[in-house]
A and B are shown apart, each in its own frame.
Chain A
Amino acid sequence: MHVIRKSKGERIFQGANTAFMLFMVVITLYPFVYVVMSSLSDSRQLLSHTGTLLWPKGFTWEAYKLVFQNPNITRGYLNTLIVVVGGTSLNLLLTCMGAYVLSRRGVPWAPKLMLIIVFTMFFSGGLIPMYLLVNNWLHLGNSLLALIIPSAISTWNLIILRTSFGALPDSLIESARIDGAHDFTILFRIVIPLSMPVISVMILFYGVQHWNSWFQAMIYLRERHLFPLQLVLREILIQNSTEYMMAQGDADVESVGESIKYATIMVATLPILFVYPFMQKYFVKGVMIGSIKG
């Protein structure tokens, strides 16, 4: 093949571009490196340290020990797990059923219903009416159900799934119907197994959303033993209540106060970092599916 010689300007650009990309990688990763190193450091040395940190200052696992001893964190993990598994299951069931019905051609009321659904993406009643509905009228306040039911369907995901279901060949569904299958069988035995890639994307999107959510938990939950992990993290990281954590253990406040925060960040982020490589092949697909039809 004929090789096109690159001009001098192009070569300079390529070099600069590569350097810029390396810079991006460093500024993305360095905060995480800093957190890891700080979490393994001795707090007293960490406090007096300024500037970059590429290696722990006085290596110790003390902070991690304290984090795992904290009953709020373990309890928070459990609550988050309940919400992620329960919430995502409900999300998937409702989104799949809705997407299936709305993707079937010729359903007389489907286009109108779709319009009614899409409208909610652009106009909503707002925070306070939603709060009053969930807390005062449905009496779901102070229950994990308040984190699951009010967010049972994401309209955006419903649209993505509907587009994807609609792209399956009609003949497939038609022949199943001739064989005597009813809609539930068609959905669960044919449509969903054939759409596993996009369903994985849905699991990813919904799962991450539940894992990260904290605002609903903050406004609806009152009892500490119901708090999901993110809300516990907020107390430790944002509201600065290491004192409160200290009350749990009997360690020297000075030596772990700082690094305990970094260790908490690590403990809360490690699960994401572990599943990240496995999720990766799905999410690019997910964004592309979403972009086909907005």
Chain B
Amino acid sequence: MRRGLRAGPDYTARGPKQGLLRRRAGRAAAGLARGKGEQEGAAMKTLARDYKRHKYLYFMILPVVLYYALFQYGPLYGAIIAFKDYRIAEGFLGSPWVGFKHFLSFFDSYYFWRLMKNTLLLNAYLLLFSFPAPIIFALLINEIGRSLFKRFVQTVTYLPHFISLIVICGMITQFVARDGMITDLLVWMGMDRTALLGQPEYFRTIYVVSDIWQSVGWGSIIYLAAISGINPELYEAATIDGANKWRQTINVTLPGILPIIIILFILKMGNMLEIGFEKIILLYNPNTYVTADVINTFVYRKGLGESFEFSYATAVGLFQAVINFILLILANRFSRKVSDSSLW
């Protein structure tokens, strides 16, 4: 083991920059002196030496690399069945290529616009109501000051985050049933008595309201952490300048947490076509497909739920993934232009 310290770069002994620079300089010099093939040979030799000296690191990373190769990049490669007519009997490679057939048939289908509309609308509502809710909640909690009451409020409101989705949806199903607790409340307020989950017009409301109920407390943690990181001198200066609480919130607190808001907003934008579809699968039914069916649930039904059109469902899923990726890049680029915050 001691050998490692005497010769060659050690992984921990030197600062990263120094080590890297030195190696790069060395490699560049080697590249100038020898031909390209020899340079590659030298790189292989370096890797071989590296392996010998740090073989345990290689042992450690092996299962991780295998996992990512098999379960992350495997399905990515498997997604080429979107361009084939995949039949189990003919196998993955033997199935015939069909180009963009499945994509085109999806774009032409009656469902395309309905799915796009539902997915985008539901996400738009989430962005409009569910996204700002924890920010406002964090700002309000912050005004309570350090006290037992503050901790109590936080403890209680974080709790729903840990309740399983099945239980949450089970509670929703019970509460908005024909004789449910929430239905009772709405009837008392003057609405006609019906089973709310059977009516397409209520689906989005139920989804968004229950989402806020479950996530507003938990979502506020990250903003509270950001608020506690704001320099207190800024508030003192604002007070001296005569700013009241409201102006301090607008001019000090909000700008202070803006970077984290932007980061979360970009991530949200990159998921505009993605939605918590597990919850939809638990709450929707054929009556409410008109408003509740989104791309993800459609992929599930076409591929695994009702029929087994593997290639078609994969194509729809791939379409969604590509659009999501493009949206993420656009949102990130936009944010880098208008502010200092970006993902990369």
Interface, chain A (partner B; CB < 8 A): 7, 9-10, 13-14, 17-18, 20-21, 24-25, 27-29, 31, 34-35, 47, 50-53, 94, 97-98, 100-102, 104-108, 113, 116-117, 120, 122-133, 136-137, 149-150, 152-153, 170, 173-174, 177-178, 180-184, 187, 208, 211-212, 214-215, 219, 230, 233-234, 236-238, 261-262, 264-265, 268-269, 272, 276, 279-280, 283-284, 287-288, 290-291, 294
Contact = CB atoms under 8 A, between A and B. Distances in A.
Interface string B51-63: 0001011011101
A212 B15 CA distance: 42
B75 A106 contact: no
Contacts of A215: 278, 281
B282 A98 contact: no
Given A131-B304, A261-B170, A124 B157 contact: no
A178 B1 CA distance: 8
Interface of A is mostly: helix
A119 to B, nearest CB: 9
Contacts of B213: 27-28
B64 A153 contact: yes
Interface residues of B, number: 104
Interface stretch (B104-112, B113-121, B313-321): B313-321
A101 B144 contact: no
Nearest to B4: A177
B159 A265 contact: no
Interface in B301-318: 303-304, 310, 313-314, 317-318
Contacts of A131: 303-304
Given A97-B60, A120-B76, A123-B321, 7 more contacts: A34-B175, A50-B179, A122-B325, A128-B310, A129-B76, A133-B74, A269-B163
Given A25-B152, A182-B1, A125 B79 contact: yes
Given A101-B60, A132-B78, A237-B169, A180 B149 contact: no
B37 to A, nearest CB: 20
Given A21-B144, A131-B304, A106 B245 contact: no
Contacts of A94: 63-64, 67
Interface stretch (B6-14, B28-36, B123-131, B200-208): B6-14
Nearest to B72: A120
Contact of A106 (B19, B78, B163, B174): B19
A117 B166 contact: no
Interface of B is mostly: helix
A126 B312 CA distance: 12
A269 B23 CA distance: 56
Contacts of B281: 215
8 contacts: A31-B181, A94-B64, A107-B11, A108-B47, A124-B72, A125-B74, A170-B13, A288-B221
Contact of A133 (B5, B78, B152, B188): B78
Contacts of B164: 211-212, 214, 230, 233, 268-269, 272
A126 B167 contact: no
A7 B73 CA distance: 61
A280 B158 contact: yes
Given A50-B179, A132-B78, A13 B304 contact: no
A105 B12 CA distance: 6
Contacts of B159: 28, 276
Nearest to B185: A51
B135 interface: no
Nearest to B282: A238
B304 A127 contact: yes
Contact of B314 (A24, A116, A126, A268): A126
Contact of A128 (B1, B68, B314): B314
Closest 3 pairs (CB-CB, A-B): A125-B75, A237-B170, A129-B78
